[in-house]
Chain A
Amino acid sequence: DTGVSQNPRHKITKRGQNVTFRCDPISEHNRLYWYRQTLGQGPEFLTYFQNEAQLEKSRLLSDRFSAERPKGSFSTLEIQRTEQGDSAMYLCASRVNRGPFPNYGYTFGSGTRLTVV
């Protein structure tokens, strides 16, 4: 399987707990993105990595959120002190940094669905 892998697929947690999600991009893709998608809405950009460098963060990414991409391979997204408003699907996508965008598009993962109870 050469797609973008996200784990876990589902996560149920109690309010106030910390959670961590993992994204494994396609191996040659050096750009990695996190999006958040709430029920019935379109995905919203959270953050972006080029290799191991986090180059942009959305204002949606509060201080309770942190993302890393050590060694420019897999990425983790951690949410501390979860709140019910954090319940959403967290999507990861990757693409290769080569050539004009339309020729090298995104590959999305299937997402991690977080439910905070």
Chain B
Amino acid sequence: AQTVTQSQPEMSVQEAETVTLSCTYDTSESDYYLFWYKQPPSRQMILVIRQEAYKQQNATENRFSVNFQKAAKSFSLKISDSQLGDAAMYFCAYLFNAGGTSYGKLTFGQGTILTVHP
């Protein structure tokens, strides 16, 4: 079974600074996707960034980028120029891509609470 581990229950960062959230996963599959989701308090889960395992290039989305190390099964999220609105719970998630289509069942990590200090 696939597992996702986020070893940092809480992280904090000063506004405008950079922070990195860690994630490791365990799988025997080679074709999968990895995601970072943001969950603000009492609000819905929002996709931050995604990475296809077959792509060597790390994904970037504006201030958000990932460091994907497939051999090490590591998938960290870097948030640059942190903003107060970035404060939330962040979840790393794994999706096994079965034969090009997928039921879409996500496996989530435990989450990291990010606090942004003004």
Contact = CB atoms under 8 A, between A and B. Distances in A.
A81 to B, nearest CB: 27
A25 interface: no
A35 B46 CA distance: 15
B105 A45 contact: yes
Interface size bracket, A side: 20 to 34
Given A91-B45, A106-B104, A109-B44, A101 B95 contact: yes
Contacts of A70: none
Contacts of A41: 110-111
Interface in A32-63: 33, 35, 40-45, 48, 50, 55-56
A100 interface: yes
A33 to B, nearest CB: 7
A102 B59 CA distance: 12
Interface string B62-102: 00000000000000000000000000000101010100111
Given A42-B111, A108-B46, 8 more contacts: A33-B105, A35-B106, A42-B93, A48-B104, A100-B100, A100-B101, A101-B101, A102-B52
